[in-house]
Structure 1
Amino acid sequence: MAIFKFYQIFRSIKEELGYDMAIKIFPEYLTLPDKMPAQEQAKLGKIVMDRMDELLDRDTIIKIRQKYTCNLTKKQAQEINELKERSQSLDEFCVEYSKLLSPGYVKKDEDLLIVSFGWNKCVCGMFRKLDSYESMSKTWCECCNGHVIKTFNFICGKAVESEIQETVACGGKDCIFKVRI
């Protein structure tokens, strides 16, 4: 089987746009080895994201990249549930959750949350082990944005919207998202 993250990208494109378009956007998929050095994976990810940017509209890109995001681990879900039980309000929850995320944070202002991962390093499995790589399109980071949406849907018990403000993979200093609740 191909490298899982690439399988998910190809699968998402195929499910949304069909096999022919998936091959047009990601022709390398058919000949992917089972293993690749991390630096080569990053280069291939950039190539595929650049093709998506060239061939697709933003809404389609977001739908594809947010289709199969990482889930919370059981431990993370348990910690969030415990914080929710102890918190009297979302404001209080955000203060306590920020301690859990440290050095990241969640700042609440009315119906807006600013979420920072705080690592000053990309948390994505594709990049976290690399010391350097070429900046990517924010198309790559829509997967993490989808994870933020999924996480805060769970936290808030309702649908939220999120927008990427800055990401390390795109050349920023932190991964920051603006979440509307």
Structure 2
Amino acid sequence: MKKLSYLLMIAAAAYTFQGCGGHKDAKETADSLNKTKDTTTNAMNTGGIAVTNDDAKFATTAADGGMAEVALGKLALSKTSNASIKEFATMMVADHGKANDELMAIAKAKNITLPAAVDSTHQKKMDELTKMNGKDFDKAYVDAMVDGHKKTLDLMNDEAKDGKDAELKAFAAKTAPVVQTHLDHINKIHDAMK
């Protein structure tokens, strides 16, 4: 009971700090909350978490990136007239939406707090892209997708290789080939735009 009270106090302080001008984005808040959880127990009523801090950080990073891919895909669908980019953006919304749902289910079962919104870096990129139109938007979106998918592929491969939690490792191993397909697809679009 003491541990639960302590966790609730930390969560309240984190949200109060966030609301009072302390600028902590949703991913940082989720990472902080996960670090306070006891990794020696998975009992939900004691605030335990069933994974190591590294595995929890993988989950928050993957969730953050996945949410950004869906949001940017939806933005691209509303802004581009390029058929290849529309096709790619549709794939982002579908594939990353499905992966996000799967990751949320794993996180819930293991008591991992995931971010409720994208981090400040992704939000800044979305804000920049929102202000663009036409070929400027297309180029910036494609560049962001190439960069983002390279980072996501590394993240998935690292977790598949070095993760400690079997379910998160399996999720990463299953997701990595999908991300590789996305990267190959966006690289072809990128090359065709030159």
Q: TM-score range by the shorter chain?
A: under 0.3
Could you say which structure has the higher helix fraction? Answer: 2
Could you say which structure has the higher strand fraction? Answer: 1
Which of 1 and 2 has greater Rg? 2
Q: TM-score scaled to structure 1, two decimals? A: 0.27
